Structure 1
Amino acid sequence: MADKLLKAIQEEERDKTRGRLKIFFGYAAGVGKTYAMLKAAHEAKQRGIDVIVGYIEPHARPKTAALLHGLEVLPSKSVPYNGITLREFDIDAALQRKPQLILVDELAHTNADGSRHAKRYQDIKELLYAGIDVYTTVNVQHIESLNDMVASITGVFVRERIPDSIFDQADQVELVDIEPQELIERLKEGNVYRESQAKRAVNNFFTVENLTALREIALRRCADRVNILTENSRIKSHGDYHTDEHILVCLSSSPSNAKLIRTAARMANAFRSDFTALFVETPAFSAMKAEDKKRLRDNVHLARQLGAKIETVYGDDIPLQIAEFARLSGVSKIVIGRSVAAKKHLFSKPTLTEKLIAHAPNLDVHIIPDTTSAPVSYYAKKAKGIRHLVFSPADLAKSIGILIAATGIGFLFQKLGFAEANIITVYVLGVLLTSVITTHRIYSLISSIVSVLVFNFLFTVPRYSLEAYDQGYPVTFIIMFLAAFLTGSLATQLKNHAKQSAQAAYRTKVLFDTNQILQQEKNQEDIISATSRQLVKLLGRGIVFYPVENGLLGEARTFSPDGNVLDNSFLSVNEKGVAKWVLKNNKHAGATTDTLSDAKCLYLAVRIMDRVYGVVGIVIGEQPLDAFENSILLSILGECAMSLENEKNAREKEEAAILARNEQLRANLLRAISHDLRTPLTSISGNASNLLSNGKSFDEDTKLQLYTDIYDDSMWLINLVENLLAVTRIEEGRLNIRASANLIDEVIAEALHHVNRKSVEHCITVKHEEDFILAKIDARLIVQVIINIVDNAIKYTPKGSHIQIKTRKQDEHVIVTVADDGEGIPDELKPKVFDMFYSGANKIADSRRSLGLGLSLCKSIIHAHGGTISVSDNIPHGTVFTFTLPAEEAQIHE
């Protein structure tokens, strides 16, 4: 219920931006679909809607053609094909024109080779995705799940079909309906086809019985669509949803498998149930012919198109695997073809259906009639497999070597007086070893026959003859052959199962490792590289990864199995164009698909819902992806998308935190400045006003005091502005360190020239343990550090206190200490003194309150030099600030 509700909500969100699709639906050609569509277009134009005709099938129907007058018609695209020119719908021109509504006839039409999409319904989906409304037409025989049913009625198998989802998800379906007899009359009058075509149609397809049956199917399909819409509305309105049905159809390479899939899809729609398509991969899958593999891929594509979830399991016992999967997945009904249930005679092996019922007696097994004869096909394939077997010299040599070794051991046993049963056991063991170390079951079969003949020739009386005197020998030979053959066959099956299990385990491990690796990666580049390497490991193919940056494709990253650079042809303009289409439409395209299939790579979006984080191109080459590889691939891309989204969220969160911190900094600065700058500014303006208005009445001492106050307040403001500018540069990451070798005593002397004027009221001394101490520093910034620390000591210690600056060199560092004998800093306040805007609880001599920027700035500058800064107590009282700087060795030039 939750999954269906989420899907409904997602579809509702997409509906807000996508175009709306209206289908004019009929049960046969000539019912008036195109005519009704053109009339609706004229009505829409009268309502002020921008309407154009994208493509109308050129029927020889005057009334229909007349309705084109007054409508803008988009020129069709000419496509050369086998010496003739075909007219096709020009999707690029339609997207460039971008009307509100476009008419595109024949929804099920197959486009000419070289078109962007193989099918017209894919063109229409792209138009809808671009926000353009579409009117189109389709007949009932073109609905995929109804194809077999219509073919059984009319005897005509229609090749142009559309997925049921296109029909069911249309925003509006208008059934264009007339009586069958009226349609036949129209046909005879030449209003549908030309006279010659009309006669053939009436005699074959257009009979009252056929048309009545097709009409009934069309009406039922419209009713089914209404039921689906009603169900979706109930889900959106949070109504209760109950279903106990789960339909399972078995996938195979059989030509009749498509019919089973369509039947199962209709059942799933009727029951409103889950729909799963299961493929049981046996050890024989690797030897399957290319034609059968292609048919299997087509069946998988059909099942996915009809809404099935594709699953793959492994094993040699197909009925057991189906039953186990059904039991674990909650399947209630299985759809299977009748041909696989055929039984030749009384003593034949149990059929697949009988085995399936035995393994899962509670399941409903629906057997669908099929005209294909499976047993004949099965044995024919077996015979072809034997005929196409290529003997390997290596396997042949191994088999002969084991047979010779078994014979040698047999002679040894005979010489030692062992019974014949022991020699037979040796040959059985030889056949078992042959089946294990060779690649095909035929070697164990031949080895079984040859072992019996060799045993008869060498170890039975008369020796060196194929005759046998003892009456029990024929039975012995039969038992020996059966024992050897059965053990060899079992060993071969176990070996194949082991290979199959190893392959499945490897692919699963790749998926598991991908999850673990991506959890450890923190940035986009590492996530992309890790994902691509895992895809190369899984598929053994080249990978092209386009990250998406600000809605555009970024620079391609390429990865290859052999570590070499991929050929530039995989990065051509055409290939990148396919990747751009995938990004824009959020759908896969390229090789093995029906969209832009001329590409060399299969392109898939790395996405979560409608957000695309990248586009992956997989070099297809000669061998397409199988169903299980495709399933693991999609899982890995899902993991990648999740990691990229987490990385994006973390980055945005960090940026938001920085922004919030900067906003807080600005707020604190404004608050501090607005409050703490008033005193010095008021003092400066007041003293200046007194000097201007009453300067002549003041004596010299009073004037000197006023001048001194103005100077002190100005210097305080200058120092504050310097600190503010430095803090701003640090917060913006623009604090550039221009380090060079400097004498530390010269730096300290320069700083003492710029300290607070009240330094004369304190005793400041400097002590160097060495005469020349060089430090690799930015002297301008370190001067600021010393000024801030010394000014801090001056402000927070009484007059007459002692301030001592010491320098010394220790290993690769220069250590500078600034000690005072004031009241000191309480232990609980020491961790806060380097925090921004922390001014402490100490009272100072003047009326100016510190903004708490000086020591914070010192910490930032020292850390930028790679040093440390700390505060401690001065014994017996006072405070010591200590910071370290990188030392520089003096260069001696001879």
Structure 2
Amino acid sequence: MEMSEQQPELLLRAGAGGMSGERRGKLKIFFGYAVGVGKTSAMLWAAQQAKARGADVVAGYIGPSGPEADKRAGELERLPAGKAQQRGSAGGEFDIDAALKRKPDLILIDELAHTNAPGSRHMKRYQDVQELLKAGINVYTTVNVQDIESLNDTVASITGMPVRERIPDSVFDQADQVEMVDIEPKDLLERMEEGGADREKQGRSAAAEYFTVEKLTALREIALRRCADRVKLITEADSAPGSYYTDEHILVCVSSSPSNAKIIRAAARMAKAFRGRFTALFVQTADAAAMSGEDGKRLRENMRLAEQLGAAVETGYGEDVPYQIAEFARLSGVSKIVVGRSSAARKSMFSKPSLTDRLIAAAPNMDIYVIPDAASGSGGRERKRQWLQASAMPVRDIGKTIVVLLAATLVSYLFYELGFTEANIISVYIFGVLVVSVITTSRFCSLISSLVSVLVFNFFFTVPRYTFRFYDSAYVVTFLIMFMIALLTGSLAAKLKENARQSARAAFRTRILFETNQLLQKAEDEQAVINAAAGQIIRLLNRDIVIYLPEGDGLSKPSVYRTADSSREELDSEKEEAAALWVYRNNKHAGATTDTLSDTRCMYLAIRMNRKVYGVVGIAMEGIPLEAFENSVLLSILGECALAIENIRNAREKEEAAIIAKNEQLRANLLRTISHDLRTPLTSISGNASNLLSNYRKLDDGARERIFTDIYEDSMWLINLVENLLAVTRLEDGQVRLHQSVELMDEVVAEALRHTSRKSKSHTIRVSSAQELILAKIDARLVVQVLINLTDNAIKYTQEGSCIEIHTEQKDGWVVVSVSDNGPGIPDEQKMHVFDMFYSGANKLADSRRSLGLGLSLCRSIVNAHGGTITVSDNHPEGTVFTFTLPAGEVELHE
């Protein structure tokens, strides 16, 4: 299953199950304490039973397990083996793409802890199984007790043979069912002698002395106890979901020691036993910066092991490791600390106390569990080697040291000629050593400068001068004290510089987080959030990144963000996009430096909030993995990014919901108002029409004319209502386009008066203008509607015989139109609402009808569409004035 040969479209289909919303498959583990107990045979027998019940069963991978198991496996459908070959074996690897394409109800996969061949999608087989489970496929598999991560050291201490292929405890604990395949140790030995167990597997697993009754009995006891612990864990979690964690908080110290994995496993078992929280702490010192490639790799493996065992990995900074551990424990509420102890004892009373002793002194009230760490005896030699590597002197540092010593010698020579005392000259050299410690990177520089300062002082400034001999025996003490003071001050200066550098790095990363939070809060849309997060990630890591956003069922085209000194490597190839899509659909990280799709250029992480993925970010790794603290800050930035995107989407959904609610409210108000206020004119029309039909010949001409007039006026009222309703909804929705032209306002007013209510005959309407010709750039049809509505409004709400005046004038580039009356006026508390839709106030019409409240709202919409304003005010001595403005026009001359 080589990635080079694996088609990207197959990989994309393989991840589709993560987004399908189907149920998750169930995992059943057949668990044994040793090879040959019959796990594979029990799994095959259970599969045959499931097949007999009608399940679609497929054998994904079955290892060689003896004649009986091979016979049962032959009765099942087998998936073809993948192309990637197992290391040194002729058997093929399990083909996960074929399994996802076939998608049976149940698939059998032997040896869950197996490590896949290079080029496979996942590094470990249990990761293949997790993908199958997510796709809704049930899985049967087999596990040995030595395959469980936290028990690896315990089993190795019994058998004397460590096992390299392991699974995290969480995989075992979260299985839906674990079936213990048990057999008496004596029966197992007899089966082996008779050939019932696979000889090939025996030879691969252990030497002959592995299979003894005593060792098998111990392994059996461990396996039974582990199954019992799992049952207890599940029972407590089901019965009291909120009380799984206790107040216990276990802290384990992580290092690059070869035996640190044993300490981490012991701490994990303790955390599980106490049902407490589990934290792994690494204290980064100056030595860690100069850590060799092998030690750095081992440190990253130990951190990954701690994560697999459920620990939260934290990083501290400082030279005093015990103090940093004690302070972290105190601030984090740690109840128990687990550390390793070297088998080397103090050689003398003047020897430096061990880390364990100093930690006990720094945290006297803390429970400290010391795990014997015999393999750390070589740690002293390893630290010396690292110190020598860190102390290597670059040519540039050598040059700086020589220049500083020359300058110190010249100043000292000047002091000597001026008659200064030797104490002043010694101070000059000590100052020079401090300067060397500050401006150089190598530790050897301060040591060499201290030694050279003593020699130069002896050569130039002690009698006899210009020789390395001296007459006064007291100079021995002087030279020794000078050397010690120079060495001590230089070392302190170097440590202070390193602490300042570490503090600056920590402050920089903290500032990155703070600035990220501020930038994301200012972002107004999702793209702004992504751009801000991308900039902060580049500042933090100084690496090229690529970001994918969701689009339909997949991802959009990637956005690549590069550093100033980018190598311009291709980050958006088809294989990279396939890996990003797999991360999006499975909500897990993958890519370079991970166990999944590790042959890509980038490491891909999901921008997620809980189970929802908002995008995928790829970090160009260039073969250099992230530091633990960088990784934690990166995850924090991605979490903030996901939260910001979710907030923006929630705000948008709230706005849309508010618009929908407003429209529903308007609809409800409209229906309620129409059902109430249209009843009167409709009743009047139907009643008058019925009266005409029944009594037409009995009515005289005057009565018939009055009935016809009432019918006409009620019909015109309904027509005007519908016209206003349609116009206002179009304007509110932005569907009406203005067709503006330069019009003479006198003609617009005259046109409006021709369409006013017939009841205007009982009122006096006057038209006046401040200028002879007033032009406006307007949509005449709509402005006529405004004047009609304002005039009809004045007619409806004023008594018969009242005077209505329409006045126009031009001021400062605007045409000002006012419609005034001398009616009862509008109360002040109602003036701010008269332009609201469906507002009719408390005033009654002359015919006791209530207005629908659309006319003035339509007037405001039309005037605003022209860029003008409309207001209402009192007319003196009585009445109301409606005033609105329109843009003035100019005469257009055509040649």
User: TM-score normalized by structure 1?
Assistant: 0.92
Aligned to 1:3: none
1:24 to 17, 30, 37: 30
CA contact (8 A) 2:290 2:386 kept: no
Aligned to 1:421: 423
Matched, 1:89 2:94: yes
What is the rounded CA distance, in whole Å, between the counterparts of 2:35 and 2:263 in structure 1?
Answer: 27
Aligned to 1:212: 217
1:609-620 equivalence runs, <5 A: 609-620=610-621
Task: Say which SS state the counterpart of residue 360 (structure 2) adopts.
Answer: helix
1:771 Cα deviation (Å)?
4.4
Give 1:31's aligned amino acid. V
Task: Say which SS state the counterpart of residue 178 (structure 1) adopts.
Answer: coil
Task: Say which SS state the counterpart of residue 832 (structure 1) adopts.
Answer: coil
CA contact (8 A) 1:79 1:85 kept: no
1:232 Cα deviation (Å)?
1.0
Give 2:374's aligned amino acid. D
CA contact (8 A) 2:591 2:599 kept: yes
Give 1:872's aligned amino acid. S
Aligned to 2:818: 817
Matched, 1:258 2:269: no
What is the rounded CA distance, in whole Å, between the counterparts of 1:290 and 1:244 in structure 2?
Answer: 38
CA deviation vs aligned residue, 1:248-291 (integer Å, no higher than 9, x gap): 11111222222211121111112222111001011233222233
- When residues 321 and 60 of structure 1 are mapped into structure 2, their CA distance, relative to the original with a 3 A threshold, is closer
Give 2:729's aligned amino acid. T
Aligned to 1:289: 292
1:826 Cα deviation (Å)?
0.6
1:519-530 equivalence runs, <5 A: 519-530=521-532
What is the rounded CA distance, in whole Å, between the counterparts of 1:27 and 1:420 in structure 2?
Answer: 77
1:425 Cα deviation (Å)?
0.6
CA deviation vs aligned residue, 1:86-134 (integer Å, no higher than 9, x gap): 5233323333443333322221122222222111111211222223322
- When residues 818 and 574 of structure 1 are mapped into structure 2, their CA distance, relative to the original with a 3 A threshold, is farther
1:81 Cα deviation (Å)?
7.2
Q: Which one has more relative contact order, counting CA pairs under 8 Å at least 6 apart?
A: 2
1:550 Cα deviation (Å)?
6.1
Task: Say which SS state the counterpart of residue 866 (structure 1) adopts.
Answer: coil
1:527 Cα deviation (Å)?
2.2
- When residues 789 and 80 of structure 1 are mapped into structure 2, their CA distance, relative to the original with a 3 A threshold, is farther
1:677-716 equivalence runs, <5 A: 677-692=678-693, 694-695=695-696, 698-716=699-717
Aligned to 1:9: none
1:611-650 equivalence runs, <5 A: 611-650=612-651
Matched, 1:860 2:865: no
- When residues 828 and 200 of structure 1 are mapped into structure 2, their CA distance, relative to the original with a 3 A threshold, is closer
What is the rounded CA distance, in whole Å, between the counterparts of 1:540 and 1:694 in structure 2?
Answer: 95
Aligned to 1:764: 765
CA contact (8 A) 2:394 2:442 kept: no
Give 1:44's aligned amino acid. A
Aligned to 2:84: 79
Aligned to 1:401: 403
What is the rounded CA distance, in whole Å, between the counterparts of 2:711 and 2:760 in structure 1?
Answer: 17
1:815 Cα deviation (Å)?
2.7
Give 1:231's aligned amino acid. E
Task: Say which SS state the counterpart of residue 832 (structure 2) adopts.
Answer: helix
CA contact (8 A) 2:393 2:442 kept: no
1:155 to 160, 170, 173: 160
Task: Say which SS state the counterpart of residue 342 (structure 2) adopts.
Answer: helix
> Identical aligned pairs, as a percentage?
62
1:855 Cα deviation (Å)?
1.4
- When residues 568 and 218 of structure 1 are mapped into structure 2, their CA distance, relative to the original with a 3 A threshold, is same
What is the rounded CA distance, in whole Å, between the counterparts of 1:60 and 1:24 in structure 2?
Answer: 14
Aligned to 1:494: 496
CA deviation vs aligned residue, 1:410-433 (integer Å, no higher than 9, x gap): 222222221111111111111111
What is the rounded CA distance, in whole Å, between the counterparts of 2:882 and 2:41 in structure 1?
Answer: 92
1:764 Cα deviation (Å)?
2.5
- When residues 447 and 830 of structure 1 are mapped into structure 2, their CA distance, relative to the original with a 3 A threshold, is same
1:671 Cα deviation (Å)?
1.3
- When residues 217 and 200 of structure 1 are mapped into structure 2, their CA distance, relative to the original with a 3 A threshold, is closer
1:701-780 equivalence runs, <5 A: 701-739=702-740, 741-780=742-781
Give 2:354's aligned amino acid. T
- When residues 717 and 234 of structure 1 are mapped into structure 2, their CA distance, relative to the original with a 3 A threshold, is same
CA contact (8 A) 2:866 2:887 kept: yes
In structure 2, stretches of 5+ residues that fail to align are: 1-19
1:270 to 270, 273, 281: 273
Matched, 1:44 2:82: no
Task: Say which SS state the counterpart of residue 807 (structure 1) adopts.
Answer: strand
CA deviation vs aligned residue, 1:484-540 (integer Å, no higher than 9, x gap): 111111111111111110110110111122223323334322222222222222222
Task: Say which SS state the counterpart of residue 53 (structure 1) adopts.
Answer: strand
What is the rounded CA distance, in whole Å, between the counterparts of 2:617 and 2:431 in structure 1?
Answer: 51
Segment drifting more, 482-491 vs 253-262: 253-262
Length, aligned pairs only: 874
2:387 to 371, 382, 398: 382
Aligned to 1:180: 185
What is the rounded CA distance, in whole Å, between the counterparts of 1:16 and 1:245 in structure 2?
Answer: 38
Aligned to 2:11: none
Segment drifting more, 404-413 vs 30-39: 404-413
1:639 Cα deviation (Å)?
1.7
1:698 Cα deviation (Å)?
4.5
Task: Say which SS state the counterpart of residue 471 (structure 2) adopts.
Answer: coil
Task: Say which SS state the counterpart of residue 338 (structure 1) adopts.
Answer: strand
CA contact (8 A) 2:32 2:145 kept: yes
What is the rounded CA distance, in whole Å, between the counterparts of 2:204 and 2:672 in structure 1?
Answer: 94
1:172 Cα deviation (Å)?
1.1
1:193-592 equivalence runs, <5 A: 193-194=198-199, 203-236=208-241, 243-339=246-342, 342-363=345-366, 364-372=368-376, 373-386=378-391, 389-393=392-396, 395-548=397-550, 552-562=554-564, 569-592=570-593
What is the rounded CA distance, in whole Å, between the counterparts of 2:580 and 2:126 in structure 1?
Answer: 21
What is the rounded CA distance, in whole Å, between the counterparts of 2:690 and 2:707 in structure 1?
Answer: 11
Give 1:77's aligned amino acid. G
CA contact (8 A) 2:59 2:76 kept: no
What is the rounded CA distance, in whole Å, between the counterparts of 2:83 and 2:879 in structure 1?
Answer: 93
Give 2:427's aligned amino acid. T
CA contact (8 A) 1:545 1:557 kept: yes
Give 1:53's aligned amino acid. V
Give 1:725's aligned amino acid. L
What is the rounded CA distance, in whole Å, between the counterparts of 1:225 and 1:731 in structure 2?
Answer: 65
After superposition, the CA RMSD in angstroms is 2.7
Task: Say which SS state the counterpart of residue 299 (structure 2) adopts.
Answer: helix
Give 1:45's aligned amino acid. K
What is the rounded CA distance, in whole Å, between the counterparts of 2:32 and 2:274 in structure 1?
Answer: 25
What is the rounded CA distance, in whole Å, between the counterparts of 1:370 and 1:891 in structure 2?
Answer: 101
- When residues 550 and 819 of structure 1 are mapped into structure 2, their CA distance, relative to the original with a 3 A threshold, is farther
Give 1:24's aligned amino acid. F
1:877 Cα deviation (Å)?
0.8
CA contact (8 A) 1:739 1:778 kept: yes
Matched, 1:171 2:173: no
What is the rounded CA distance, in whole Å, between the counterparts of 1:261 and 1:77 in structure 2?
Answer: 35
CA contact (8 A) 1:250 1:277 kept: yes
1:85-164 equivalence runs, <5 A: 87-164=92-169
Task: Say which SS state the counterpart of residue 114 (structure 1) adopts.
Answer: coil
CA contact (8 A) 1:342 1:375 kept: no
What is the rounded CA distance, in whole Å, between the counterparts of 1:180 and 1:411 in structure 2?
Answer: 86
CA contact (8 A) 2:251 2:337 kept: yes
1:321 Cα deviation (Å)?
0.7
1:806-845 equivalence runs, <5 A: 806-845=807-846
Give 1:32's aligned amino acid. G
Task: Say which SS state the counterpart of residue 606 (structure 1) adopts.
Answer: strand
What is the rounded CA distance, in whole Å, between the counterparts of 1:776 and 1:579 in structure 2?
Answer: 57
CA deviation vs aligned residue, 1:41-95 (integer Å, no higher than 9, x gap): 23233444x3322413242523223334654443333335789875233323333
What is the rounded CA distance, in whole Å, between the counterparts of 1:866 and 1:562 in structure 2?
Answer: 48
What is the rounded CA distance, in whole Å, between the counterparts of 1:538 and 1:220 in structure 2?
Answer: 46
1:860 Cα deviation (Å)?
2.8
